[in-house]
C-alpha cells in the first residue's frame, strides 16, 4: 500500500478526545489532525514525538489533515491509522503474499455475518469452506515490559473485539474457516501475544476461540513514509 501523496512531517503537541491531535508542522504551522485510532496508543502519543501526516482528500471531512505515522522511541515508524490494515491485508492476499490464505478465487470486504457484525474479508472458492478473516491493527510494544520484543493486542479494553471472537468461534464450529489476522504496524517485534493484563476478557475469548477452531495468524508490516508492505510472519504465542 502506497500513500497517494508524500506525507508531511511534524511534532505532536497532544492527542485528545481520542480522535484529535494537535501537531506543529516542520514549517511552524500549528494544525489539528484526525487520529483514526480508537485505542489507547500506549507509548505512541507522547508530546514531542515525530509524526507524519497526510492531507485529507475527503471533501466532507471536517479536518484537513490525518495522522498516519509516529516514530517510536526505538526509531521505528509505526502506522497508527487503523483504516489501512484491511487494505494491506487485501493487497497481500490477492498477491499471494500470505500463503496461509492462498487459493481462494473470490475476496469480498465487509460482509455481514453473526449478530450485527461485518467480517473484514470473506474468501470463497468452490469445493472449500468459506474463510472469514477478521483483521486487527497491532501497534503496541512495551520495551520495558516482561516481553519487550512482543507485539501485543489489544492496547485497551475491546468488548467489540471479544464479540467478534465469539462469532468467529461459531463460524468454525459450524464448518466454516475462521481466521484472526493480526497485522503488526511496526518492524521491531519478534512475536505476537494477547495483552491479557490489559483486557482479560479478550484473552479469555481468544483462548476459547482457539479451542473452538479459530486460527490465529500474525504478519509484521514494513512501514515507511512512502507506504506499508506486508513483511514476515511472526509466531503467535499463547497469553
If we measure between CA atoms, which residue out of 111, 135, 136 comes closest to residue 122? 111
> Looking at residue 57, what is its pLDDT?
82
> Looking at residue 59, what is its pLDDT?
80
Domains 8-79 and 85-233 share a fold: no
- CB neighbours of 145 closer than 8 A, spacing ≥ 6? none
> Looking at residue 114, what is its pLDDT?
76
The strand pair at 191-194 and 215-223 is best described as unpaired
> Looking at residue 78, what is its pLDDT?
98
Alpha helical stretches, state H, 31-131? 85-95
If we measure between CA atoms, which residue out of 128, 124, 209 comes closest to residue 164? 209
For domain 8-79, which CATH number applies: 3.30.300.30, 3.40.50.10800, 2.40.50.580, 1.10.540.10? 2.40.50.580
> Looking at residue 66, what is its pLDDT?
96
Q: Report the predicted TM-score, pTM, of the whole model to 2 decimal places.
A: 0.95
Cell of 24: 506543529
Can you give the residue ranges of every domain in the chain?
A: 8-79, 85-233
pLDDT along the chain (239 residues), means of 10: 96 97 97 96 96 90 95 94 97 97 97 87 97 98 94 96 94 96 97 97 97 97 96 92
Note whether 167 and 120 are within 8 A (CB): no
CATH topology for the 85-233 domain:
Trna Endonuclease; Chain: A, domain 1 (3.40.1350)
Amino acid at each position: 500500500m502506497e500513500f497517494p501523496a508524500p506525507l508531511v512531517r511534524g511534532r505532536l503537541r497532544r492527542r485528545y478526545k481520542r480522535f484529535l491531535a494537535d501537531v506543529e508542522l516542520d514549517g511552524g504551522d500549528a494544525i489539528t489532525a484526525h487520529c483514526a485510532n480508537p485505542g489507547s496508543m500506549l507509548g505512541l502519543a507522547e508530546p514531542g514525538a515525530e509524526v507524519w501526516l497526510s492531507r485529507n482528500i475527503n471533501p466532507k471531512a471536517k479536518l484537513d489533515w490525518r495522522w498516519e505515522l509516529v516514530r517510536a522511541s526505538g526509531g521505528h515508524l509505526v502506522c497508527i491509522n487503523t483504516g489501512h490494515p484491511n487494505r494491506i491485508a487485501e493487497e497481500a492476499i490477492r498477491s499471494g503474499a500470505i500463503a496461509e490464505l492462498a487459493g481462494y478465487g473470490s475476496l469480498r470486504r465487509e460482509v455481514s455475518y453473526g449478530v450485527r457484525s461485518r467480517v473484514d474479508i470473506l474468501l470463497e472458492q468452490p469445493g472449500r469452506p468459506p474463510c472469514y478473516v477478521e483483521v486487527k491493527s497491532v501497534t503496541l510494544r512495551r520495551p520495558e515490559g516482561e516481553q519487550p520484543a512482543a507485539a501485543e493486542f489489544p492496547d485497551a479494553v475491546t468488548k467489540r473485539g471479544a464479540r467478534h471472537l465469539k462469532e468467529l468461534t461459531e463460524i468454525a464450529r459450524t464448518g466454516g474457516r475462521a481466521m484472526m489476522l493480526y497485522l503488526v504496524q511496526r518492524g521491531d517485534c519478534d512475536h505476537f501475544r494477547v495483552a491479557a493484563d490489559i483486557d482479560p476478557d479478550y484473552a479469555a475469548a481468544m483462548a476459547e476461540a482457539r479451542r473452538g477452531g479459530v486460527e490465529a495468524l500474525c504478519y509484521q508490516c514494513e512501514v515507511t513514509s512512502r507506504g506499508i508492505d506486508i513483511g514476515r510472519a511472526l509466531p503467535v504465542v499463547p497469553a
